[in-house]
């Protein structure tokens, strides 16, 4: 997998967007959640589920990813559950007699998420993630919300962009720097090489 884009915040590091988080999770789904991927961005009844997968027991797994806290997470997963149970896609791979697993992944959870989960008839699995820098390497730490220690640590392919100033050329836009951070060193150098001849 090519790299994903990260950016530094006052609190540390995070994925540059929910799309970058989804790209990383999709590429590492088996390692993170021990499930087999079925489909990314699956549309059911006009709503788009981030990731559908199947576990080792044949149960459907619905994953909803959030790059920031979202107080309506439970309602969203509940709608996906209802739509998919009615539609029953991937019936050749999914055993719909097994309970559907509803997994949420977010850096933090709003207190309303915890209240909604507590009083819901459905079972939700809450996972929390963080991005950490260790020397020159970046990792995604994953843990179940109720557990103290991370259950998974997966390396993130990220190469910070080394910017240099060339006379009469302004600094590149921050969005471009974030995007290029997801490129390998070689890809970054080819962009840098090309830009020298464009200007």
Residue-wise pLDDT for 94-122, tens only, equals: 999 999 999 999 999 999 999 999 999 99
The predicted structure's pLDDT at residue 159: 75
How far apart, in whole angstroms, are the C-alpha atoms of residue 102 and residue 61?
A: 6
How far apart, in whole angstroms, are the C-alpha atoms of residue 83 and residue 181?
A: 37
Indicate whether 64 and 109 sit together in one domain: yes
Backbone angles phi, psi at 26, to 5 degrees: -60, -45
Range of the domain at 193: 161-199
Indicate whether 193 and 110 sit together in one domain: no
How much is the pTM?
A: 0.80
**DSSP string covering 158-177:** ---------TT-PPPPHHHH
Q: How many helices (H) and strands (E) does the chain have?
A: 6, 9
How far apart, in whole angstroms, are the C-alpha atoms of residue 70 and residue 85?
A: 24
Residue-wise pLDDT for 52-92, tens only, equals: 999 999 999 999 999 999 999 999 999 999 999 999 999 99
Indicate whether 74 and 166 sit together in one domain: no
Kindly tell me if the per-residue pLDDT of 135 is higher than 70.
yes
């Amino acid at each position: 997998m090519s790299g994903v884009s990260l950016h530094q915040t006052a609190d540390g590091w995070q994925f540059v967007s929910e799309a970058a988080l989804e790209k990383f999770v999709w590429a590492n789904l088996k390692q993170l959640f021990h499930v087999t991927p079925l489909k990314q961005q699956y549309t059911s009844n006009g709503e788009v589920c981030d990731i559908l997968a199947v576990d080792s027991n044949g149960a459907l797994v619905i994953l909803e990813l959030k790059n920031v806290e979202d107080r309506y997470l439970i309602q969203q997963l509940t709608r996906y559950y209802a739509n998919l149970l009615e539609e029953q896609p991937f019936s050749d791979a999914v055993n719909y007699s097994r309970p559907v697993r509803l997994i949420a992944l977010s850096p933090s959870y709003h207190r309303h998420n915890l209240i909604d989960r507590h009083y819901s008839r459905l079972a939700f699995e809450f996972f929390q993630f963080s991005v950490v820098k260790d020397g020159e390497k970046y990792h995604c730490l994953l843990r179940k919300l109720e557990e103290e220690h991370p259950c998974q640590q997966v390396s993130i392919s990220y190469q910070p962009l080394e910017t240099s100033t060339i006379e009469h050329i302004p600094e590149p836009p921050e969005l471009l720097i974030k995007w290029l951070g997801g490129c390998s060193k070689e890809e970054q150098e080819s962009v840098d090489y090309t830009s020298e001849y464009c200007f």
